[in-house]
Amino acid sequence: MNVAIFDYGTGNLHSLRKAIEETGARVSFVQDARSAASADALVLPGVGAFGSAAARLTRSGAELRDAIRNGLPTLGICLGMQLLFDRSDEGSGNGLGVIPGRVRKMKADRLPQMGWNEVETTADPLFDALPSLTVYYANSYVARPARQEYVIAWSEHAGERFPAAVRSGSAIGVQFHPEKSGGSGLQLIANFLAGAR
């Protein structure tokens, strides 16, 4: 299986690449929609800020959005999840608009949310073989979908409940970092890739 990681040019993607390769998949880094669409699955990584990443995606925006809407299995991680939405309170620029909604700043006094947190999952194949899930977060913003039906998992930070994972067709977003979440994170990546086959 060939997995494309979209490189916004914003940071080190080594741990993500290594986690995907541990599932037996081949990984390539891409910066345009045509290369992304030719892969078996696409990962939008979680490194960087919304504004700069959105600016990089603008060059491929409509073509990339169409590929995802037409069934390209896609996993958005942290920032990558947020880019699946329309807009963000963090910076300017538009997201891909694959999932209707907006990214909002969390309400906690102390941000970012850094560290381990529990996830309340639903009966989605993304969570197969994961009866309980504790994952690593590093975020100050969370996606707020226009409709709750997109949400497939929840977490809570400082009394604020927020979507931990969303799905629209073959597009999945997780607010946490599975590549930094140990064995459970690797299982989640494997589940995503199994669904992409």
Find, among 43, 53, 51, 44, the residue nearest to 10 by Cα: 53
d(Cα 10, Cα 83) in Å, to the nearest integer? 14
**Sign of the CA dihedral running 73, 79, 81, 83:** negative
14 is known as an active-site residue = no
- Given the residues 21, 22, 63, 78, the one annotated as active site: 78
118 is known as an active-site residue = no
- Tokens (6 digits) for 39: 């892969």
Rounded (10°) CA dihedral 102, 36, 68, 16: -60
Q: What does each C-alpha distance from 101 to 83, 117, 142, 192 come to in angstroms?
A: 11, 24, 11, 23
177 is known as an active-site residue = yes
List beta partners, residue 139: 113
Catalytic residues: 78, 177, 179
